[in-house]
Structure 1
């Protein structure tokens, strides 16, 4: 019976559209194979010359087909969840038989619906409710071959005193999922007996590592989620919401189109709706509009305060997540806490806080060897703190903090143009990541403090008009290009108290303003501090700079009047050539004052030369205008003699 059930609807179900895509892909592959045989026969050795290009084209085409298949599977999952949600919201209002657990047979397979009750459902309840699709194997593990859906108010606790291993069926024919909509999902192991959950290929009897045909996943939509001492592995595919372990809210739906179907959530809400119907006195029409007098409201309006459904909250502690598509994906959440957890070998990013995540804490968490970034705080996240964590060996950044607005003007969705901020990374480590250690993209009041950053192309990068970025007390070493980079319109940045060892350029500022004070740059190979473009308001002071390169303080490419003072560059060895130094100091004002000084020196030298030519024979100094002095007056006796007429000379 179990085999027949699995064949009919559960794991072996075919996705609408996916079969067509597979058949189309098979035809395309067959056609490509025929061409691969025919073309060399027709073109001879000329085909060999293009073998590498053709192979690359085949790979690109195959990747495109895989993308279409996975996107179709995500759309199918959205459609299934919409079907289940629509039914579970309306059916309990029609009959009480839908207030206890039941099974839905949708287009995409069986789904076991757990309804609201006071006590949480357990492993024993699942064995009773789904004896053919939740089966205990001889080795003590459990295999799930049916979707599980927690309705609003339902609670599911997966735990076992001696440890629990749950294998979620997933292969080329289909996969299962555990989805909670407004319920409470708890995955609880212990340090001595952890809980283990993985995807499982029943035919190969091993975890499913192929994401091209979809893969089992766990998701919480609204409500609460708790996970402790749990090991998750090889879950999820393609999108964040189906990425493995995802916690998403309903305030901004991301499960496709969740149109209003008139559903009323929760027991109290249903009773209130029934009372409203009973009190109908003619002031309400068929559209649900009620006429009321003006003035103070007699009862508060709680339609916009359904926090349990709008946002998800929860905690993840002392757990490991390995090989998921996305390690942890969270959106529309508040009060999330992730601690003492390791996320590694994800196909995409490690820990992703996507949109509208606020007042959350990530501490003592390791993101290692993930295909993308280690940690991402994307746009519309705010008041999130990361501390005591490690990002190592990831393909992208260690930490990415984005506070950019969701729109920069009028948009189809009408998003706000405000920036987001108040996020921070402190007392953490970024080591040997493929791109940057920490990247700040826009936002305001962002803190990057007391971190240790090793390797990477750059250490800390702040850009895209970020405002009030505090980069203080960090230790950076081994960067290829720049230790700290502040560029592209950043305002009010503070770069103080950092120790930067061995980059090409210690601190780089371009078209931004920053206070660069009290930093230590050592063993730089190009510049200690480099200023480029408009740097109005930038101050460079009290820094200690050592290294070997063209210049310790490079400001020749900047304009705007940066204030550079009181820096110690005695440990810098200038390797620039003579003409480079000339060009460095040959600014227009420098040339002007140099010309004036040379003119003064030339005039003084010429005057000294004239004085030397007029020295007397005795070596004394001759007055320079001695030839212009008036003649001395003759003595009075000579004047008197000169006044008498000469007497005539008489001849004898």
Structure 2
């Protein structure tokens, strides 16, 4: 066995590889210079490494191939002569990126058909035994040309060759492409790996695709499957405008040529008879530098009653005006379902269902505006059901000079989003975006609005079974209007973070945290006439919000407040509430003390402000003295104020006057019956008996025969005038009355 020669490959394997190579060379799907020994022996769908870079390189190759084909065709037609006449007929153009069947414009209005592809494609277009057609070459429909794919005798099935390293495509560049079937005889287009005998399901090495660049595209009663790879323009079925210079050699009809001739003559008459001379320069007004798509280079199209299954992008539209997509089903897209990309405007999307996409169901990207989505359904997609992006193309100066203007006026109406992986609907920036009368089931959140969107309208929607929040406004949303929405089963019904809006007439059921939560700056927000049912620490949470918030006429009768006593107390422990509570407490305490003082003063029998009375208006109290009891003087008590004394007192007689002493009660010990003072007796507070104006001081000397209480010689109290007033030079004495010595 040691001298055994290396075994040769089996005969069957060699024949099989030779047959595959022959078919590949026959259909132009592999470079003609590829040696048979280098044919791939790896599995049919071996992914390049890294797969992303490989697919991106294939997209660049496709762009270069299209530009080369277009440039060569324009140059030949411009040169004229026999070569130009030859290129006015369908030709196969070869390049380093594959072979391309070029369909130039014809002088007739008749479009190219499947029969013409078989006629001019030669060995690269074959009819298979089952009646289908196998396309093994790129097809280029030039400006002014038209291609019609249909079959009146039965269904048309077109299999576009797609194997590792090579694939076919159909691209119209400024022309018109129509794929039109009927309900009885639809058109079916799919990628096809003839080695495996099935559609190509691996996009890593490139797949067949269909694209319209400018011009017109129409599809009706058609189905496509397993087309496209990597980018949107090669993603399956794509309608794209172009911002590249238009071809000077556009195909014009007879009427268009006559109209242009008349226009040139009119311009010459307006400029004068000279019309300029050699070397003259014609100056035109320069255009802007911002990215834009001229109206003449926008693509217009309509797609009706068609299906897209397993494409990289189900349907991709960019640089389009007034396109219509109606009654369409898109399923199992590898990236997104229906994508309206930049510079798409005035589009109509009706009765379109997108399901099973790995990314978003519907995407309205930046620089799109005035797109109406009605009666659409986004089901079981990996990311969002609907994504609408109205943000500006740039936030400041940029190399391409993009505008800072936001986009908007797009709407989603009467649609449905169910069980999508992320959000039901996401609105990013923009102005006047709206979601109305739409049913959203499941998802992490129902409707999310963020990135400083303005004047968003969200009304009449029905949301249920969201994990976290039903409707969320975040990151600078202003002037939003949320009205008449029904939210059931979300942990938080409506969530606002650094955003504001008007929330009116919404019904929130089954919330387990809050019906409405506000965080950050919510100035200008109004919450009115909403109904809340559920349980949580509060129906409307504003503890972490700032700004002026209006809340009124909301129905919380069926809201179960589960907050603890401390949490409830914290709701009211705010600075202003504390200040007002302190004010009311002081008032109440003062009222209670005032009432108690009145009772105490009434019990004591004195005026509450007696101590604040002037000295001359107070009653006089005699201070107790031990000698008073020995001399038999009257007990302590109020002293009568003298009224007057007889006039003419003799000299040398001691006179005394009484003054009004403040009424100061002094406790006095009662006298001991044995003549001494009792140590065990309690002091007694003497009771005042009022001022007695006519009473005389008990110890004042009286003249003989004078009535009790009269002053001798009519004397007045010390310093007093006959009218009862005090002289300015002698103020009244305080304390006990003192006798006044007379003159000698």
TM-score, normalising length: structure 1: 0.82
Which residue does the alignment assign to 1:11?
A: 29
Which residue does the alignment assign to 1:194?
A: 186
Which residue does the alignment assign to 1:47?
A: none
Structure 2 residue corresponding to 1:625, chosen from 605, 608, 627:
608
Which residue does the alignment assign to 1:82?
A: 67
For residues 103 and 577 of structure 2, the distance between their equivalents in structure 1, rounded to whole angstroms, comes to 81
Q: Could you say what the CA RMSD is over the residues aligned between the two structures, in angstroms?
A: 3.3
Q: Does the aligned pair in 1 maintain the 2:441–2:465 contact within 8 Å?
A: yes
For residues 501 and 103 of structure 2, the distance between their equivalents in structure 1, rounded to whole angstroms, comes to 56
Structure 1 residue corresponding to 2:400, chosen from 388, 403, 413:
413
- Does residue 283 (structure 1) correspond to residue 277 (structure 2)? The answer is yes
- CA pair 569-623 structure 1, distance change in 2 beyond 3 A: farther
Q: Does the aligned pair in 1 maintain the 2:27–2:123 contact within 8 Å?
A: no
- Does residue 439 (structure 1) correspond to residue 505 (structure 2)? The answer is no
Which residue does the alignment assign to 1:155?
A: 146
Higher relative contact order (CA 8 A, sep 6+): 1
Partner SS for 2:77: helix
Which stretch of the first structure deviates more once superposed, 357-366 or 479-488?
479-488
- Does residue 249 (structure 1) correspond to residue 232 (structure 2)? The answer is no
For residues 585 and 340 of structure 2, the distance between their equivalents in structure 1, rounded to whole angstroms, comes to 65
Q: Does the aligned pair in 2 maintain the 1:100–1:115 contact within 8 Å?
A: yes
Partner SS for 2:204: coil
For residues 14 and 466 of structure 1, the distance between their equivalents in structure 2, rounded to whole angstroms, comes to 55
Partner SS for 1:215: coil
Larger Rg: 2
Q: Does the aligned pair in 2 maintain the 1:13–1:173 contact within 8 Å?
A: no
Q: Does the aligned pair in 1 maintain the 2:26–2:123 contact within 8 Å?
A: no
- Does residue 102 (structure 1) correspond to residue 91 (structure 2)? The answer is yes
- Does residue 487 (structure 1) correspond to residue 456 (structure 2)? The answer is no
- CA pair 574-2 structure 1, distance change in 2 beyond 3 A: closer
Question: Which structure: greater strand fraction?
Answer: 1
Which residue does the alignment assign to 2:337?
A: 350
Which residue does the alignment assign to 1:133?
A: 124
- CA pair 596-120 structure 1, distance change in 2 beyond 3 A: same
Question: Which structure: greater helix fraction?
Answer: 1
Partner SS for 2:443: coil
Structure 2 residue corresponding to 1:326, chosen from 282, 293, 313:
313
Q: Does the aligned pair in 1 maintain the 2:601–2:608 contact within 8 Å?
A: no
For residues 488 and 305 of structure 1, the distance between their equivalents in structure 2, rounded to whole angstroms, comes to 32
Between the two proteins, the alignment pairs up a number of residues equal to 580
- CA pair 96-454 structure 1, distance change in 2 beyond 3 A: same
Alignment map for 1:258-297 (pairs within 5 Å): 263-267=248-252, 283-285=277-279, 290-291=281-282
- Does residue 179 (structure 1) correspond to residue 171 (structure 2)? The answer is yes
Alignment map for 1:41-60 (pairs within 5 Å): none
Q: Does the aligned pair in 2 maintain the 1:283–1:290 contact within 8 Å?
A: no
For residues 455 and 305 of structure 1, the distance between their equivalents in structure 2, rounded to whole angstroms, comes to 39
- CA pair 634-233 structure 1, distance change in 2 beyond 3 A: same
For residues 610 and 497 of structure 2, the distance between their equivalents in structure 1, rounded to whole angstroms, comes to 66
For residues 692 and 294 of structure 2, the distance between their equivalents in structure 1, rounded to whole angstroms, comes to 124
Which stretch of the first structure deviates more once superposed, 570-579 or 603-612?
603-612
Alignment map for 1:231-630 (pairs within 5 Å): 231-250=223-242, 252-253=243-244, 263-267=248-252, 283-285=277-279, 290-291=281-282, 307-308=295-296, 310-610=297-597, 625=608
Q: CA deviation at 1:498?
A: 0.9
TM-score, normalising length: structure 2: 0.73
For residues 234 and 293 of structure 2, the distance between their equivalents in structure 1, rounded to whole angstroms, comes to 27
Partner SS for 2:122: coil
In structure 2, list runs of 5 or more residues that go unmatched: 1-18, 269-273, 286-291, 612-617, 620-688, 698-705, 712-744
- CA pair 644-112 structure 1, distance change in 2 beyond 3 A: closer
For residues 33 and 221 of structure 2, the distance between their equivalents in structure 1, rounded to whole angstroms, comes to 34
Q: CA deviation at 1:508?
A: 1.4
For residues 219 and 305 of structure 1, the distance between their equivalents in structure 2, rounded to whole angstroms, comes to 17
Q: CA deviation at 1:583?
A: 2.3
Report Cα offsets for 1:361-402 as digits up to 9, x if no partner.
Answer: 001000111011111111100010001100111111111111
In structure 1, list runs of 5 or more residues that go unmatched: 30-61, 254-259, 296-303, 646-652
